[in-house]
Structure 1
Amino acid sequence: MAKEDHIKKILWAAIALILLPIMVRAAEMDKPKIVSLDYCADQYVLALADRDQIMALSMDADQGHSFYRDRAQGLPKFHSSMAEIVQMKPDLAVQSWRVTARMEKIINRVGTKLIIPRYGSDPEIVIGNVRRAGESFDQATRAETLIEDYRTRLEALHSIPKSPLKAAYITPSGFTAGTGTFVDEIIQLAGLSSYAAARNIVGWQSLPLEDLIIDPPDVFIASFFDTNLNS
C-alpha cells in the first residue's frame, strides 16, 4: 500500500508539472486585450498591461511627450477610430480625452468596454485611476506596486524643505497656471513658492506684464510644445 501511495504521489506530481505551464498560459490568454485611444491613455496601458495584451496604441505613443515612449517601441499603433475598434474587437478601449459621441454604445456592440479615467491631478484621483485600470487589465498587483511607489515619492516630495524663491510658470502666449492646476501643484511640490498662487490666480489666466515688472519672480518656468528643448 505504501508503495502504491508513493507511485500515486509521483504520478500526481508529474501531472501537475505538465499541467502547470498550460494553466499559466491559459491564465495569460484570459487577460483582456486592449487598445489605447490617446497618448494620456497610452501611459496607463504601457505602465500596467503586458505587451501581449496591447493590440494597439495611439499614434503619439512613442513621441517625445509620451512618458513611456520607450515601452511603446515595436508595438502596433492605430488612428483610434471607431471603425478600427469595431474591426479589431478588443476587450477594452482606454480613452482619457473627450469621447466621441456614441462611441461607447457602438463599440459595446462588438463586446468592447470603454474605460475612461477620471479627470484630475489630485493624488487620490490618480491612485483611483491607476487602481481601476489595473483591475480592468487584470493587473491589480502591478497597479498596487505602482501606487505604493507613487505614495512613497509623493511623501518624499512633501518633506522637501521649502524655498523662499518665487517661481512663475508662463506659456509662450503669456498665460500662467494658478491654484487648482497640475503645474502649480508641481511648483509647490518642488518646494518653491508659487508666484501665481500668491496673486490669487485660479486656473489658467493671463499673467499681467505689469506684475512681472513691478514684482518679478525669482524663477521663470516655461514650456515649448514645438521644440526639443527641455523646460
Structure 2
Amino acid sequence: MRIVSLDFCADQYVLKMVEPERILALSPDAAAPFSYMRDAAVGIPTVKSSAEDVMILKPDLVVRSYGGGPNANGFFQSAGVPVLNIGWAGDLEGIKRLTLDMADGLGAPEIGAEIVSDIDARLAALKLQPNKNRALYMTPSGITSGSGSMVHEILAEAGLENFQDQPGWRSIPLERLAYERPDMIAAAFFDTNNVEKNGWSAMRHPIARAQIKDLPTVALNGSWMSCGGWFVMDGIEALAERRYTEADL
C-alpha cells in the first residue's frame, strides 16, 4: 500500500511502522520539533491535508488522527480510498491497544507487538515504590492538567501524585501556589515554545516562574507529550528517575 499521512500524530505511527518507500507523503509537521519521529521524516515528501492535494497522489491508504477535518473520512472513502483512523487512548493500556490496532492496519503486526513488549519491559524495570511526592505539570501557555487526561496517567505511572487536584485541563493554580508548593515540576514543551510569545500566559507570572526556578524540575520534551503514543514512556522514565534523585531528598 502507498500511504499518505494527514497529521503529525498519524506521522508517528506511519514512520515507525511503514517502509519509507511506501510513504507517498507526510504532514507538513512531520519534521517539526514536536514530532517524535522527526529524524525519520527527513527526505520524505509532505502534503497539505486538503482533499485535492491528497487525491492527486493516488494513495492506497490515508492515515489520520484529525487531519483533513471532520469530513475527511466520508470524502476519501466515497472516492474509494480506505482511511485508517487513529483512535483515542487515555492511558498506557489504551496506547498499547492503539499501537496493536495501528500495526495491524499498516500491515506490521510484529512491530506493534515489539513496541508493546518494550513498554511492558520498561515499566517493569522502573520498580517503583510508593511515595507521596506531588508533581505539577506546567506548559509555556500556562496550562496544567488534572485527572481524566493522559498527563495525569503519565504522572501516576511514574509513581507521582498530581498536584493539580481538579480534573481536566486548567490554568496553572497561581493562587494556590502562593501558599502551597508541589514537590517537583513536570515542565513540558519548553523545548519547542517560547514563553514570551504569549503575553497572557500564566507562566509570565512571578509565582509560576518561581516554581521552575526553585523546585526540582523535569523537562518533558514536547515530542513525548504531543500525541498519545509509545513515546510517552520517555517522559514516564524521566519523571521516575528524577523522583528518586531529588524529590525524595
Residues in 2 aligned to 1:180 and 1:103: alpha-carbon distance in whole angstroms:
28
Counterpart check, 1:186 vs 2:154? yes
SS in 2 for 1:88: coil
Matched residue type, 1:68: M
> Does residue 213 of the first structure (1) align with residue 185 of the second (2)?
no
Q: How many correspondences in the alignment?
A: 195
Q: Which amino acid aligns with 1:187?
A: L
- How big is the shift at 1:145? 1.4
Kindly state the Cα deviation for residue 110 of structure 1 after the two structures are TM-superposed: 3.8
What TM-score results when the alignment is normalised by the length of structure 1?
A: 0.76
Give deviations 1:57-102, integer Å, cap 9, x for gaps.
1111111111111111111111122112211121111111265243
- Which residue in the other structure is 1:9 paired with? none
- The answer to whether the 8 A contact 1:168-1:194 is kept is yes
**Which structure features the higher share of helix residues?**
1
Task: Point out where structure 2 has 5 or more consecutive residues left out of the alignment.
Answer: 196-218, 221-249
Matches within 5 A, 1:62-73: 62-73=31-42
The SS at the match of 2:144 is strand
Alignment of 1:34-49 (within 5 A): 34-49=3-18
Paired with 1:192 and 1:124, the residues of 2 have a C-alpha distance of 18
Cα RMSD for the two superposed structures: 2.1
Q: Which residue of structure 2 aligns with residue 156 of structure 1?
A: 125
Identity of aligned residues (%): 34
Given residue 148 of structure 2, which amino acid in structure 1 is its aligned partner? G
Which of 183, 187, 193 aligns to 1:222? It is 187
Query: What does the per-residue CA deviation read over 1:123-164, in whole Å, with 9 as the maximum and x for residues that have no partner?
Result: 23212222222112211112211221122223334x322343
Distance 1:172 1:102 in 2: 32
Determine the C-alpha separation between the residues in 1 that align with 2:141 and 2:98.
Answer: 32
Matching residue of 1:203: 168
- Secondary structure at the aligned position of 1:93 is classed as strand
Distance 1:212 1:124, change over 3 A: same
Structure with more relative contact order (C-alpha pairs < 8 Å, separation 6 or more)? 2
- The 1:179–1:156 alpha-carbon spacing in structure 2 relative to 1, beyond 3 Å, is farther
**Residue in 2 that maps onto 1:33:** 2
Q: Distance in 1 between matches of 2:148 and 2:125?
A: 21
**Displaced runs of 4+ in structure 1, greater than 6 A?**
none
* Contiguous gaps of at least 5 residues in structure 1: 1-31
1:146 aligns with 2:115: yes
Which structure would you say has the larger Rg?
A: 1
**Within 5 Å, which residues of 2 pair with 1:96-107?**
96-97=65-66, 99-107=68-76
Distance, in Å, in 1 between the alignment partners of 2:92 and 2:183 is 28
Deviation of the 1:43 alpha carbon: 0.5
The equivalent residue for 2:26 is 57
Counterpart CA distance in 2 for 1:189 and 1:227 is: 28
Counterparts of 2:64 and 2:169, CA distance in 1: 24
TM-score if structure 2 supplies the norm length? 0.71
Query: Residues 89 and 111 of structure 1 are in contact (CA less than 8 Å); yes or no, is this contact kept in structure 2?
Result: no
